[in-house]
Chain A
Amino acid sequence: MSWQNLVFYVLGAVGLIIFLSLTVMVLTWIERKFLARIQQRMGPMRVGPHGLLQPIADVIKLISKEDILPSWADKPIYWIAPLAIFVPAIAIWVTIPFSETLVLQNLDLGLFYIAAISVLSVLGLVMAGWGSANKYSMLGGLRAVGQLISYEIPFIMAILGVAMLSQSLSLIDIINDQSKIANIIVQPIGFLIFLAAGLAELGRTPFDIHHAESEVVGGPFVEYSGAHWAIIQLAEYVNTFAIAALIAVMFLGGWSWPSMPFSGIPHHLLSVIWFLIKIYAVILLIFWIRGTYPRLRIDQLMSFGWKVLVPVSFINIVFTGFVRFYNLHWSILTVLSLITIGSIFYLIYKTPQQSRGENSIRIVPSKEAASRPPENYGDVNVR
Protein backbone atom coordinates (compact mmCIF):
# COMPACT_ATOMS: atom_id res chain seq x y z
CA MET A 1 0.00 0.00 0.00
CA SER A 2 1.55 3.28 -1.07
CA TRP A 3 1.38 6.41 1.02
CA GLN A 4 -0.99 8.11 -1.46
CA ASN A 5 -3.46 5.31 -0.86
CA LEU A 6 -3.07 5.67 2.87
CA VAL A 7 -3.68 9.43 2.72
CA PHE A 8 -6.73 8.83 0.50
CA TYR A 9 -8.24 6.33 2.91
CA VAL A 10 -7.58 8.47 5.99
CA LEU A 11 -9.00 11.60 4.37
CA GLY A 12 -11.96 9.61 3.02
CA ALA A 13 -12.73 8.12 6.41
CA VAL A 14 -12.53 11.53 8.13
CA GLY A 15 -14.73 13.07 5.44
CA LEU A 16 -17.21 10.23 5.77
CA ILE A 17 -17.48 10.65 9.54
CA ILE A 18 -17.97 14.42 9.20
CA PHE A 19 -20.60 13.93 6.49
CA LEU A 20 -22.45 11.32 8.56
CA SER A 21 -22.38 13.48 11.71
CA LEU A 22 -23.85 16.43 9.82
CA THR A 23 -26.45 14.12 8.25
CA VAL A 24 -27.45 12.87 11.68
CA MET A 25 -28.04 16.45 12.83
CA VAL A 26 -30.29 16.99 9.83
CA LEU A 27 -32.08 13.69 10.48
CA THR A 28 -32.88 14.53 14.11
CA TRP A 29 -34.38 17.83 12.99
CA ILE A 30 -36.39 16.14 10.22
CA GLU A 31 -37.64 13.43 12.56
CA ARG A 32 -38.83 15.88 15.21
CA LYS A 33 -40.47 18.18 12.67
CA PHE A 34 -42.07 15.33 10.72
CA LEU A 35 -43.44 13.58 13.81
CA ALA A 36 -44.72 16.88 15.12
CA ARG A 37 -46.54 17.56 11.87
CA ILE A 38 -48.11 14.08 11.97
CA GLN A 39 -49.33 14.85 15.50
CA GLN A 40 -50.50 18.36 14.51
CA ARG A 41 -47.85 20.11 16.54
CA MET A 42 -45.25 22.61 15.44
CA GLY A 43 -42.15 20.80 16.67
CA PRO A 44 -39.01 22.77 17.57
CA MET A 45 -39.57 26.45 16.73
CA ARG A 46 -37.44 28.51 19.14
CA VAL A 47 -33.84 28.09 18.01
CA GLY A 48 -33.39 29.63 14.60
CA PRO A 49 -36.05 29.84 11.88
CA HIS A 50 -38.38 26.84 12.28
CA GLY A 51 -36.00 25.38 14.81
CA LEU A 52 -33.27 24.80 12.22
CA LEU A 53 -30.49 25.41 14.74
CA GLN A 54 -32.07 23.03 17.29
CA PRO A 55 -29.65 20.14 16.49
CA ILE A 56 -26.65 22.38 17.20
CA ALA A 57 -28.14 23.39 20.53
CA ASP A 58 -28.75 19.72 21.29
CA VAL A 59 -25.16 18.81 20.50
CA ILE A 60 -23.79 21.59 22.71
CA LYS A 61 -26.09 20.50 25.53
CA LEU A 62 -25.09 16.82 25.22
CA ILE A 63 -21.36 17.55 25.14
CA SER A 64 -21.49 19.86 28.16
CA LYS A 65 -23.55 17.47 30.27
CA GLU A 66 -21.95 15.35 32.96
CA ASP A 67 -21.05 11.79 32.01
CA ILE A 68 -22.34 9.66 34.85
CA LEU A 69 -20.91 6.28 35.80
CA PRO A 70 -23.23 4.16 37.96
CA SER A 71 -21.37 2.87 41.01
CA TRP A 72 -22.37 -0.76 40.34
CA ALA A 73 -21.45 -0.63 36.67
CA ASP A 74 -18.92 -2.95 35.09
CA LYS A 75 -16.52 -0.16 34.20
CA PRO A 76 -14.58 -1.35 31.10
CA ILE A 77 -17.63 -2.93 29.44
CA TYR A 78 -19.74 0.13 30.24
CA TRP A 79 -17.26 2.48 28.56
CA ILE A 80 -16.49 0.26 25.55
CA ALA A 81 -20.15 -0.43 24.70
CA PRO A 82 -20.87 2.92 22.90
CA LEU A 83 -17.79 2.34 20.73
CA ALA A 84 -18.91 -1.21 19.97
CA ILE A 85 -22.18 0.27 18.73
CA PHE A 86 -20.58 3.16 16.88
CA VAL A 87 -17.76 1.42 14.98
CA PRO A 88 -19.89 -1.09 13.00
CA ALA A 89 -22.33 1.71 12.13
CA ILE A 90 -19.52 3.72 10.53
CA ALA A 91 -17.72 0.68 9.07
CA ILE A 92 -20.74 -0.20 6.93
CA TRP A 93 -20.31 3.08 5.05
CA VAL A 94 -16.94 2.06 3.63
CA THR A 95 -18.60 0.29 0.74
CA ILE A 96 -21.83 2.23 0.20
CA PRO A 97 -21.42 4.25 -3.02
CA PHE A 98 -22.83 7.73 -3.59
CA SER A 99 -22.06 7.65 -7.29
CA GLU A 100 -20.08 5.58 -9.77
CA THR A 101 -16.77 6.95 -8.45
CA LEU A 102 -17.68 8.48 -5.09
CA VAL A 103 -17.06 5.48 -2.86
CA LEU A 104 -14.32 4.79 -0.32
CA GLN A 105 -13.71 1.21 -1.43
CA ASN A 106 -16.00 -0.82 -3.68
CA LEU A 107 -15.83 -4.40 -2.37
CA ASP A 108 -16.70 -7.44 -4.45
CA LEU A 109 -18.36 -8.90 -1.38
CA GLY A 110 -20.04 -5.59 -0.51
CA LEU A 111 -23.48 -6.84 0.48
CA PHE A 112 -22.06 -9.72 2.47
CA TYR A 113 -19.65 -7.34 4.20
CA ILE A 114 -22.58 -5.14 5.23
CA ALA A 115 -24.55 -8.12 6.53
CA ALA A 116 -21.57 -9.40 8.53
CA ILE A 117 -20.62 -6.04 10.03
CA SER A 118 -24.15 -5.00 10.91
CA VAL A 119 -24.56 -8.13 13.05
CA LEU A 120 -21.79 -6.86 15.30
CA SER A 121 -23.95 -4.01 16.59
CA VAL A 122 -25.81 -6.55 18.77
CA LEU A 123 -22.60 -6.92 20.71
CA GLY A 124 -22.62 -3.26 21.73
CA LEU A 125 -26.22 -3.46 22.89
CA VAL A 126 -25.47 -6.54 25.00
CA MET A 127 -22.39 -4.89 26.48
CA ALA A 128 -24.35 -1.76 27.33
CA GLY A 129 -27.12 -3.85 28.88
CA TRP A 130 -24.70 -5.91 30.93
CA GLY A 131 -22.31 -3.17 31.90
CA SER A 132 -24.92 -0.78 33.28
CA ALA A 133 -25.86 -3.23 36.06
CA ASN A 134 -29.44 -2.11 35.85
CA LYS A 135 -32.40 -4.46 35.51
CA TYR A 136 -34.02 -2.41 32.76
CA SER A 137 -30.75 -2.32 30.82
CA MET A 138 -30.29 -6.03 31.28
CA LEU A 139 -33.82 -6.82 30.08
CA GLY A 140 -33.31 -4.47 27.15
CA GLY A 141 -30.05 -6.16 26.24
CA LEU A 142 -31.67 -9.60 26.34
CA ARG A 143 -34.57 -8.38 24.23
CA ALA A 144 -32.13 -6.86 21.75
CA VAL A 145 -30.30 -10.18 21.35
CA GLY A 146 -33.52 -12.10 20.81
CA GLN A 147 -34.89 -9.60 18.34
CA LEU A 148 -31.75 -8.91 16.33
CA ILE A 149 -30.72 -12.54 15.94
CA SER A 150 -34.24 -13.52 14.86
CA TYR A 151 -34.51 -10.78 12.27
CA GLU A 152 -30.99 -11.38 10.97
CA ILE A 153 -32.27 -14.36 8.94
CA PRO A 154 -34.90 -12.55 6.82
CA PHE A 155 -32.47 -9.59 6.54
CA ILE A 156 -29.78 -11.77 4.94
CA MET A 157 -32.32 -13.72 2.88
CA ALA A 158 -33.67 -10.50 1.35
CA ILE A 159 -30.09 -9.48 0.51
CA LEU A 160 -29.58 -12.92 -1.05
CA GLY A 161 -32.64 -12.48 -3.26
CA VAL A 162 -31.24 -9.23 -4.65
CA ALA A 163 -27.82 -10.81 -5.13
CA MET A 164 -29.44 -13.64 -7.10
CA LEU A 165 -31.22 -11.15 -9.35
CA SER A 166 -28.11 -9.16 -10.22
CA GLN A 167 -25.60 -12.03 -9.97
CA SER A 168 -23.23 -9.93 -7.89
CA LEU A 169 -22.59 -8.79 -4.33
CA SER A 170 -20.92 -5.53 -5.30
CA LEU A 171 -23.21 -2.57 -4.67
CA ILE A 172 -22.16 -0.72 -7.84
CA ASP A 173 -22.91 -3.79 -9.97
CA ILE A 174 -26.30 -4.11 -8.33
CA ILE A 175 -27.13 -0.49 -9.10
CA ASN A 176 -25.95 -0.75 -12.71
CA ASP A 177 -27.95 -3.93 -13.13
CA GLN A 178 -31.13 -2.01 -12.33
CA SER A 179 -30.70 0.62 -15.04
CA LYS A 180 -33.69 -0.76 -16.96
CA ILE A 181 -36.02 -1.79 -14.19
CA ALA A 182 -35.73 -1.37 -10.44
CA ASN A 183 -35.80 -4.36 -8.13
CA ILE A 184 -38.80 -3.06 -6.20
CA ILE A 185 -40.91 -3.77 -9.29
CA VAL A 186 -39.29 -7.14 -9.97
CA GLN A 187 -39.32 -8.31 -6.37
CA PRO A 188 -41.82 -6.33 -4.28
CA ILE A 189 -41.86 -9.04 -1.63
CA GLY A 190 -38.11 -8.74 -1.11
CA PHE A 191 -38.57 -5.01 -0.54
CA LEU A 192 -41.22 -5.59 2.12
CA ILE A 193 -39.12 -8.24 3.88
CA PHE A 194 -36.05 -6.04 3.86
CA LEU A 195 -38.01 -3.03 5.12
CA ALA A 196 -39.48 -5.00 8.02
CA ALA A 197 -36.23 -6.77 8.89
CA GLY A 198 -34.28 -3.52 8.52
CA LEU A 199 -36.63 -1.69 10.88
CA ALA A 200 -36.19 -4.53 13.36
CA GLU A 201 -32.40 -4.38 13.01
CA LEU A 202 -32.54 -0.65 13.70
CA GLY A 203 -34.89 -1.11 16.61
CA ARG A 204 -37.26 1.51 15.27
CA THR A 205 -41.02 1.51 15.80
CA PRO A 206 -42.91 -0.83 15.46
CA PHE A 207 -39.99 -3.10 16.40
CA ASP A 208 -38.47 -0.97 19.18
CA ILE A 209 -39.11 -3.31 22.08
CA HIS A 210 -35.50 -3.30 23.26
CA HIS A 211 -35.58 0.37 24.15
CA ALA A 212 -39.31 0.77 24.62
CA GLU A 213 -39.84 3.74 26.92
CA SER A 214 -43.00 2.41 28.54
CA GLU A 215 -41.66 -1.09 29.23
CA VAL A 216 -37.89 -1.08 29.83
CA VAL A 217 -37.52 2.73 30.17
CA GLY A 218 -34.68 3.09 27.67
CA GLY A 219 -33.36 -0.42 27.39
CA PRO A 220 -29.59 -0.76 27.33
CA PHE A 221 -29.11 3.02 27.27
CA VAL A 222 -30.87 3.95 30.54
CA GLU A 223 -27.72 4.76 32.47
CA TYR A 224 -25.86 6.59 29.72
CA SER A 225 -25.71 10.36 29.65
CA GLY A 226 -23.79 13.18 28.05
CA ALA A 227 -21.28 12.44 25.32
CA HIS A 228 -21.63 8.65 25.49
CA TRP A 229 -25.37 8.88 25.01
CA ALA A 230 -24.71 11.21 22.08
CA ILE A 231 -22.44 8.61 20.49
CA ILE A 232 -25.11 5.93 20.85
CA GLN A 233 -27.74 8.19 19.30
CA LEU A 234 -25.32 9.09 16.51
CA ALA A 235 -24.85 5.41 15.74
CA GLU A 236 -28.61 4.78 15.74
CA TYR A 237 -29.23 7.53 13.19
CA VAL A 238 -26.23 6.52 11.08
CA ASN A 239 -27.70 3.02 10.98
CA THR A 240 -31.08 4.39 9.96
CA PHE A 241 -29.41 6.32 7.16
CA ALA A 242 -27.51 3.17 6.13
CA ILE A 243 -30.65 1.03 5.94
CA ALA A 244 -32.35 3.74 3.87
CA ALA A 245 -29.30 3.87 1.58
CA LEU A 246 -29.31 0.08 1.25
CA ILE A 247 -32.99 0.10 0.30
CA ALA A 248 -32.24 2.82 -2.26
CA VAL A 249 -29.32 0.76 -3.62
CA MET A 250 -30.93 -2.66 -3.61
CA PHE A 251 -34.54 -1.96 -4.49
CA LEU A 252 -34.91 1.58 -5.83
CA GLY A 253 -32.09 1.41 -8.36
CA GLY A 254 -29.67 3.87 -6.75
CA TRP A 255 -28.78 6.61 -9.19
CA SER A 256 -29.25 4.57 -12.36
CA TRP A 257 -33.03 4.19 -12.46
CA PRO A 258 -34.69 5.93 -14.16
CA SER A 259 -31.61 6.96 -16.11
CA MET A 260 -30.84 10.60 -16.78
CA PRO A 261 -29.84 11.96 -20.20
CA PHE A 262 -26.59 13.59 -19.07
CA SER A 263 -22.93 12.72 -19.18
CA GLY A 264 -19.68 13.87 -17.60
CA ILE A 265 -19.63 16.12 -14.52
CA PRO A 266 -23.39 16.98 -14.51
CA HIS A 267 -24.16 13.29 -14.63
CA HIS A 268 -22.09 12.57 -11.51
CA LEU A 269 -23.53 15.55 -9.66
CA LEU A 270 -27.09 14.68 -10.59
CA SER A 271 -26.62 11.03 -9.73
CA VAL A 272 -25.51 11.94 -6.21
CA ILE A 273 -28.51 14.24 -5.82
CA TRP A 274 -30.90 11.63 -7.25
CA PHE A 275 -29.50 9.01 -4.88
CA LEU A 276 -29.86 11.34 -1.86
CA ILE A 277 -33.46 12.11 -2.84
CA LYS A 278 -34.24 8.40 -2.83
CA ILE A 279 -32.52 7.90 0.54
CA TYR A 280 -34.47 10.75 2.12
CA ALA A 281 -37.73 9.40 0.65
CA VAL A 282 -37.07 6.08 2.40
CA ILE A 283 -36.12 7.95 5.60
CA LEU A 284 -39.43 9.81 5.52
CA LEU A 285 -41.20 6.46 5.03
CA ILE A 286 -39.43 5.10 8.13
CA PHE A 287 -40.39 8.19 10.19
CA TRP A 288 -43.94 7.96 8.87
CA ILE A 289 -44.16 4.34 10.04
CA ARG A 290 -42.88 5.48 13.43
CA GLY A 291 -45.58 8.11 13.65
CA THR A 292 -48.33 5.73 12.60
CA TYR A 293 -47.91 2.27 14.10
CA PRO A 294 -47.99 1.14 17.72
CA ARG A 295 -45.24 -1.03 19.15
CA LEU A 296 -45.47 -4.82 18.81
CA ARG A 297 -45.54 -6.97 21.92
CA ILE A 298 -42.50 -9.22 22.31
CA ASP A 299 -44.38 -12.45 21.54
CA GLN A 300 -46.04 -10.84 18.51
CA LEU A 301 -42.61 -9.69 17.37
CA MET A 302 -41.12 -13.15 17.64
CA SER A 303 -44.04 -14.91 15.99
CA PHE A 304 -44.07 -12.35 13.17
CA GLY A 305 -40.35 -12.86 12.63
CA TRP A 306 -40.31 -16.64 12.71
CA LYS A 307 -43.75 -17.54 11.37
CA VAL A 308 -44.14 -14.86 8.70
CA LEU A 309 -40.87 -13.25 7.64
CA VAL A 310 -38.61 -16.34 7.62
CA PRO A 311 -40.91 -18.58 5.53
CA VAL A 312 -41.78 -15.73 3.17
CA SER A 313 -38.11 -14.92 2.64
CA PHE A 314 -37.48 -18.57 1.72
CA ILE A 315 -40.42 -18.46 -0.71
CA ASN A 316 -38.84 -15.35 -2.20
CA ILE A 317 -35.53 -17.16 -2.71
CA VAL A 318 -37.26 -20.17 -4.30
CA PHE A 319 -39.25 -18.02 -6.73
CA THR A 320 -36.21 -15.95 -7.65
CA GLY A 321 -34.18 -19.09 -8.26
CA PHE A 322 -36.99 -20.56 -10.37
CA VAL A 323 -37.19 -17.49 -12.59
CA ARG A 324 -33.41 -17.20 -12.87
CA PHE A 325 -32.91 -20.89 -13.63
CA TYR A 326 -35.40 -21.06 -16.47
CA ASN A 327 -34.45 -17.58 -17.73
CA LEU A 328 -38.03 -16.41 -17.56
CA HIS A 329 -39.14 -12.82 -18.04
CA TRP A 330 -38.86 -10.64 -14.92
CA SER A 331 -42.57 -9.86 -14.92
CA ILE A 332 -43.29 -13.49 -13.94
CA LEU A 333 -41.36 -12.90 -10.71
CA THR A 334 -43.41 -9.76 -10.09
CA VAL A 335 -46.64 -11.70 -10.50
CA LEU A 336 -45.42 -14.52 -8.23
CA SER A 337 -44.32 -11.99 -5.60
CA LEU A 338 -47.62 -10.16 -5.69
CA ILE A 339 -49.55 -13.44 -5.38
CA THR A 340 -47.42 -14.34 -2.34
CA ILE A 341 -47.99 -10.94 -0.72
CA GLY A 342 -51.73 -11.26 -1.31
CA SER A 343 -51.95 -14.75 0.15
CA ILE A 344 -49.80 -13.78 3.17
CA PHE A 345 -52.03 -10.82 3.96
CA TYR A 346 -55.10 -13.05 3.53
CA LEU A 347 -53.64 -15.68 5.86
CA ILE A 348 -52.74 -13.09 8.51
CA TYR A 349 -56.24 -11.62 8.19
CA LYS A 350 -57.82 -15.07 8.58
CA THR A 351 -55.69 -16.16 11.55
CA PRO A 352 -57.51 -15.58 14.85
CA GLN A 353 -55.40 -13.06 16.75
CA GLN A 354 -56.73 -13.72 20.24
CA SER A 355 -57.22 -17.40 20.95
CA ARG A 356 -58.93 -17.78 24.33
CA GLY A 357 -56.68 -20.33 25.93
CA GLU A 358 -57.36 -22.44 28.98
CA ASN A 359 -55.33 -20.19 31.23
CA SER A 360 -56.30 -16.77 29.96
CA ILE A 361 -57.78 -14.42 32.50
CA ARG A 362 -61.51 -13.97 32.16
CA ILE A 363 -63.40 -11.00 33.51
CA VAL A 364 -66.71 -12.02 35.06
CA PRO A 365 -69.31 -9.99 36.92
CA SER A 366 -68.86 -10.00 40.70
CA LYS A 367 -72.17 -11.78 41.41
CA GLU A 368 -71.25 -14.60 39.07
CA ALA A 369 -67.74 -14.78 40.49
CA ALA A 370 -69.03 -15.20 44.01
CA SER A 371 -71.11 -18.21 43.04
CA ARG A 372 -68.26 -19.87 41.13
CA PRO A 373 -65.82 -22.32 42.70
CA PRO A 374 -62.29 -20.86 42.85
CA GLU A 375 -60.27 -21.81 39.79
CA ASN A 376 -56.66 -22.78 39.93
CA TYR A 377 -55.08 -20.61 37.26
CA GLY A 378 -51.41 -20.83 37.98
CA ASP A 379 -50.84 -24.57 38.19
CA VAL A 380 -50.36 -26.24 34.83
CA ASN A 381 -50.28 -29.81 36.02
CA VAL A 382 -53.85 -29.83 37.28
CA ARG A 383 -55.25 -31.48 34.15
Chain B
Amino acid sequence: MTSLIIFYLASCVVLGGGLAVVLSRNIVYAAFGLIASLSGVAGIFILSFAPFLALVQILIYGGAIVIVIIFALMLTKLEDFRTLSDHKHWPIALVTSLITLGIIISTAFYRPANLTSRSGLDLSKLADELFSKWAVPFEMASLVLLIALMGGVIMVRKIDSRDDK
Protein backbone atom coordinates (compact mmCIF):
# COMPACT_ATOMS: atom_id res chain seq x y z
CA MET B 1 0.00 0.00 0.00
CA THR B 2 2.72 2.44 1.01
CA SER B 3 4.76 1.57 -2.07
CA LEU B 4 1.70 2.16 -4.26
CA ILE B 5 1.27 5.66 -2.83
CA ILE B 6 4.97 6.37 -3.32
CA PHE B 7 4.74 5.03 -6.87
CA TYR B 8 1.91 7.41 -7.74
CA LEU B 9 3.73 10.34 -6.11
CA ALA B 10 6.91 9.58 -8.06
CA SER B 11 4.94 9.18 -11.28
CA CYS B 12 3.29 12.55 -10.69
CA VAL B 13 6.72 14.11 -10.24
CA VAL B 14 8.01 12.47 -13.42
CA LEU B 15 5.01 13.50 -15.51
CA GLY B 16 4.77 16.98 -14.02
CA GLY B 17 8.46 17.58 -14.60
CA GLY B 18 8.16 16.31 -18.15
CA LEU B 19 5.20 18.59 -18.84
CA ALA B 20 7.15 21.50 -17.40
CA VAL B 21 10.03 20.69 -19.76
CA VAL B 22 7.79 20.65 -22.79
CA LEU B 23 5.28 23.38 -22.01
CA SER B 24 7.29 25.95 -20.10
CA ARG B 25 7.98 29.22 -21.88
CA ASN B 26 11.07 29.84 -19.75
CA ILE B 27 13.97 27.58 -20.63
CA VAL B 28 15.39 27.71 -17.10
CA TYR B 29 12.08 26.40 -15.75
CA ALA B 30 12.31 23.66 -18.37
CA ALA B 31 15.75 22.67 -17.07
CA PHE B 32 14.50 22.55 -13.46
CA GLY B 33 11.52 20.51 -14.63
CA LEU B 34 13.98 18.07 -16.19
CA ILE B 35 15.70 17.67 -12.81
CA ALA B 36 12.35 16.97 -11.12
CA SER B 37 11.44 14.43 -13.77
CA LEU B 38 14.75 12.56 -13.52
CA SER B 39 14.61 12.54 -9.71
CA GLY B 40 11.14 11.02 -9.95
CA VAL B 41 12.62 8.25 -12.10
CA ALA B 42 15.12 7.64 -9.29
CA GLY B 43 12.16 7.16 -6.94
CA ILE B 44 10.68 4.56 -9.27
CA PHE B 45 14.06 2.78 -9.40
CA ILE B 46 14.04 2.53 -5.60
CA LEU B 47 10.56 0.98 -5.74
CA SER B 48 11.82 -1.57 -8.29
CA PHE B 49 14.55 -2.72 -5.85
CA ALA B 50 17.40 -0.98 -7.63
CA PRO B 51 18.75 1.50 -5.04
CA PHE B 52 22.18 1.62 -6.68
CA LEU B 53 20.66 2.64 -10.00
CA ALA B 54 18.53 5.24 -8.22
CA LEU B 55 21.58 6.82 -6.59
CA VAL B 56 23.46 6.76 -9.89
CA GLN B 57 20.47 8.48 -11.47
CA ILE B 58 20.53 11.25 -8.85
CA LEU B 59 24.32 11.61 -9.00
CA ILE B 60 24.68 11.67 -12.78
CA TYR B 61 21.49 13.34 -13.96
CA GLY B 62 20.41 15.46 -11.01
CA GLY B 63 23.88 16.45 -9.93
CA ALA B 64 25.95 16.66 -13.06
CA ILE B 65 24.26 16.65 -16.44
CA VAL B 66 21.33 18.99 -15.79
CA ILE B 67 23.56 21.31 -13.78
CA VAL B 68 25.89 21.55 -16.75
CA ILE B 69 22.88 22.25 -18.99
CA ILE B 70 21.81 25.08 -16.65
CA PHE B 71 25.40 26.33 -16.59
CA ALA B 72 25.40 26.49 -20.38
CA LEU B 73 22.00 28.24 -20.38
CA MET B 74 23.26 30.91 -18.03
CA LEU B 75 26.13 31.70 -20.37
CA THR B 76 23.76 32.37 -23.26
CA LYS B 77 21.30 35.16 -23.89
CA LEU B 78 17.99 33.86 -22.60
CA GLU B 79 15.97 36.07 -24.92
CA ASP B 80 16.93 33.76 -27.79
CA PHE B 81 15.15 30.87 -26.15
CA ARG B 82 11.99 32.54 -24.87
CA THR B 83 9.69 30.79 -27.33
CA LEU B 84 11.29 27.41 -27.71
CA SER B 85 7.96 25.56 -27.79
CA ASP B 86 6.85 27.62 -30.79
CA HIS B 87 9.60 26.10 -32.88
CA LYS B 88 8.48 25.41 -36.44
CA HIS B 89 9.67 21.80 -36.34
CA TRP B 90 7.07 20.84 -33.76
CA PRO B 91 5.10 18.42 -36.02
CA ILE B 92 8.24 16.28 -36.47
CA ALA B 93 8.82 16.32 -32.73
CA LEU B 94 5.19 15.33 -32.14
CA VAL B 95 5.37 12.36 -34.54
CA THR B 96 8.71 11.17 -33.13
CA SER B 97 7.56 11.34 -29.55
CA LEU B 98 4.27 9.58 -30.36
CA ILE B 99 6.19 6.75 -32.07
CA THR B 100 8.50 6.46 -29.03
CA LEU B 101 5.51 6.40 -26.70
CA GLY B 102 3.89 3.68 -28.80
CA ILE B 103 7.05 1.54 -28.70
CA ILE B 104 7.34 1.91 -24.91
CA ILE B 105 3.68 1.05 -24.31
CA SER B 106 3.72 -1.92 -26.67
CA THR B 107 6.88 -3.24 -24.98
CA ALA B 108 5.20 -2.94 -21.59
CA PHE B 109 2.19 -4.97 -22.84
CA TYR B 110 4.36 -7.49 -24.66
CA ARG B 111 6.40 -8.31 -21.57
CA PRO B 112 4.74 -7.08 -18.37
CA ALA B 113 7.35 -6.46 -15.69
CA ASN B 114 6.89 -8.40 -12.49
CA LEU B 115 8.46 -6.00 -10.04
CA THR B 116 7.03 -7.04 -6.70
CA SER B 117 8.50 -10.55 -6.62
CA ARG B 118 12.03 -9.48 -7.38
CA SER B 119 14.52 -9.13 -4.56
CA GLY B 120 17.18 -6.46 -4.36
CA LEU B 121 20.43 -6.98 -6.21
CA ASP B 122 23.51 -7.16 -4.03
CA LEU B 123 26.16 -4.55 -4.83
CA SER B 124 28.99 -7.10 -4.81
CA LYS B 125 27.04 -9.34 -7.20
CA LEU B 126 26.52 -6.34 -9.46
CA ALA B 127 30.25 -5.59 -9.37
CA ASP B 128 31.13 -9.23 -10.17
CA GLU B 129 28.81 -9.20 -13.16
CA LEU B 130 30.07 -5.83 -14.34
CA PHE B 131 33.75 -6.71 -14.20
CA SER B 132 33.58 -10.31 -15.46
CA LYS B 133 30.70 -10.83 -17.85
CA TRP B 134 30.27 -7.23 -18.99
CA ALA B 135 33.89 -6.12 -18.70
CA VAL B 136 34.39 -5.37 -22.40
CA PRO B 137 31.28 -3.15 -22.82
CA PHE B 138 32.22 -1.40 -19.59
CA GLU B 139 35.70 -0.65 -20.88
CA MET B 140 34.26 0.43 -24.22
CA ALA B 141 32.01 2.91 -22.42
CA SER B 142 34.97 4.36 -20.58
CA LEU B 143 36.85 4.64 -23.87
CA VAL B 144 33.94 6.56 -25.41
CA LEU B 145 33.93 8.95 -22.45
CA LEU B 146 37.69 9.44 -22.76
CA ILE B 147 37.37 10.27 -26.45
CA ALA B 148 34.56 12.73 -25.68
CA LEU B 149 36.76 14.36 -23.05
CA MET B 150 39.68 14.69 -25.45
CA GLY B 151 37.38 16.05 -28.14
CA GLY B 152 36.13 18.68 -25.68
CA VAL B 153 39.68 19.71 -24.85
CA ILE B 154 40.62 20.00 -28.52
CA MET B 155 37.50 22.00 -29.38
CA VAL B 156 37.93 24.43 -26.53
CA ARG B 157 41.65 24.95 -27.06
CA LYS B 158 42.54 28.03 -29.07
CA ILE B 159 45.42 27.83 -31.49
CA ASP B 160 46.83 31.07 -30.23
CA SER B 161 46.29 30.60 -26.54
CA ARG B 162 46.74 33.47 -24.15
CA ASP B 163 46.90 31.15 -21.16
CA ASP B 164 50.04 30.64 -19.16
CA LYS B 165 52.20 28.01 -20.73
Q: A339 within 8 Å of B by Cβ?
A: no
- Contacting pair A383 B160 (CB below 8 A): yes
- Contacting pair B162 A380 (CB below 8 A): yes
Q: B21 within 8 Å of A by Cβ?
A: no
For A122, give the chain B residue with the smallest CB separation: B67
- Contacting pair B59 A115 (CB below 8 A): yes
Q: A283 within 8 Å of B by Cβ?
A: no
In the assembled complex, the Cα of A109 lies from the Cα of B45 at a distance in Å of 15
Report the interface size for chain A: residues with CB under 8 A from the other chain.
33
- Contacting pair B2 A1 (CB below 8 A): yes
- Contacting pair B52 A109 (CB below 8 A): yes
With A122-B67, A127-B32 already in contact, the answer to whether A108 and B123 are too (CB < 8 A) is yes
- Contacting pair A122 B74 (CB below 8 A): no
Q: Which of B53-77 contact A (CB under 8 A)?
A: 55-56, 58-59, 62-64, 67-68, 70-71, 74-75
- Contacting pair B52 A123 (CB below 8 A): no
Name the contact of A149 in the complex, choosing from B67, B160, B162 (C-beta under 8 A).
Answer: B67
In the assembled complex, the Cα of A381 lies from the Cα of B161 at a distance in Å of 10
Q: B133 within 8 Å of A by Cβ?
A: no
- Distance of A216 from chain B, by nearest CB (Å): 14
With A145-B71, A380-B160 already in contact, the answer to whether A152 and B63 are too (CB < 8 A) is yes
- Contacting pair B55 A109 (CB below 8 A): yes
- Contacting pair B71 A142 (CB below 8 A): yes
With A142-B74, A145-B71 already in contact, the answer to whether A123 and B59 are too (CB < 8 A) is no
- Contacting pair B52 A116 (CB below 8 A): no
In the assembled complex, the Cα of A1 lies from the Cα of B32 at a distance in Å of 32
With A117-B58, A126-B70 already in contact, the answer to whether A169 and B165 are too (CB < 8 A) is no
- Contacting pair B32 A120 (CB below 8 A): no
Interface band, chain B: 20 to 34
- Contacting pair A77 B28 (CB below 8 A): yes
Q: A198 within 8 Å of B by Cβ?
A: no
In the assembled complex, the Cα of A143 lies from the Cα of B129 at a distance in Å of 39
Q: Which of A339-367 contact B (CB under 8 A)?
A: 355, 357-359
- Contacting pair A120 B58 (CB below 8 A): yes
In the assembled complex, the Cα of A152 lies from the Cα of B68 at a distance in Å of 13
Interface string of A162-173 (1 = CB under 8 A from B): 000000010000
Q: A56 within 8 Å of B by Cβ?
A: no
- Distance of B137 from chain A, by nearest CB (Å): 21
With A122-B67, A138-B74, A145-B71 already in contact, the answer to whether A116 and B165 are too (CB < 8 A) is no
In the assembled complex, the Cα of A7 lies from the Cα of B28 at a distance in Å of 39
Q: B44 within 8 Å of A by Cβ?
A: no
For B54, give the chain A residue with the smallest CB separation: A116
Q: A98 within 8 Å of B by Cβ?
A: no
With A109-B51, A130-B74, A380-B162 already in contact, the answer to whether A116 and B63 are too (CB < 8 A) is yes
Q: A34 within 8 Å of B by Cβ?
A: no
- Contacting pair A357 B165 (CB below 8 A): yes
- Distance of B139 from chain A, by nearest CB (Å): 16
Interface string of A98-121 (1 = CB under 8 A from B): 000000000111001101110110
Interface string of A122-166 (1 = CB under 8 A from B): 110011001000000010011001100100100000000000000
For A145, give the chain B residue with the smallest CB separation: B71
Residues of chain B within 8 A (CB-CB) of A1 are: 2
Residues of chain B within 8 A (CB-CB) of A357 are: 162-165
- Distance of A294 from chain B, by nearest CB (Å): 20
Most A Cβ at <10 Å: residue of B2, B58, B163: B58
- Contacting pair B58 A116 (CB below 8 A): yes
- Distance of B163 from chain A, by nearest CB (Å): 8
Residues of chain A within 8 A (CB-CB) of B2 are: 1
For A139, give the chain B residue with the smallest CB separation: B74
Residues of chain B within 8 A (CB-CB) of A117 are: 58
Interface string of B133-165 (1 = CB under 8 A from A): 000000000000000000000000000101111
Q: B14 within 8 Å of A by Cβ?
A: no
Name the contact of A119 in the complex, choosing from B52, B59, B71 (C-beta under 8 A).
Answer: B59
In the assembled complex, the Cα of A165 lies from the Cα of B62 at a distance in Å of 29
- Distance of B65 from chain A, by nearest CB (Å): 10
For B75, give the chain A residue with the smallest CB separation: A142
Residues of chain A within 8 A (CB-CB) of B164 are: 355, 357
Residues of chain B within 8 A (CB-CB) of A142 are: 71, 74-75
- Distance of A35 from chain B, by nearest CB (Å): 32
In the assembled complex, the Cα of A116 lies from the Cα of B38 at a distance in Å of 14
- Contacting pair B74 A141 (CB below 8 A): yes
- Contacting pair A130 B58 (CB below 8 A): no
- Distance of A378 from chain B, by nearest CB (Å): 10
Interface string of A4-47 (1 = CB under 8 A from B): 00000000000000000000000000000000000000000000
Q: 7 nearest interchain CB pairs?
A: A119-B63, A116-B59, A116-B55, A116-B58, A355-B164, A145-B71, A1-B2
7 CB contacts below 8 A, A to B, read A77-B28, A112-B55, A116-B63, A126-B74, A130-B70, A142-B74, A357-B164
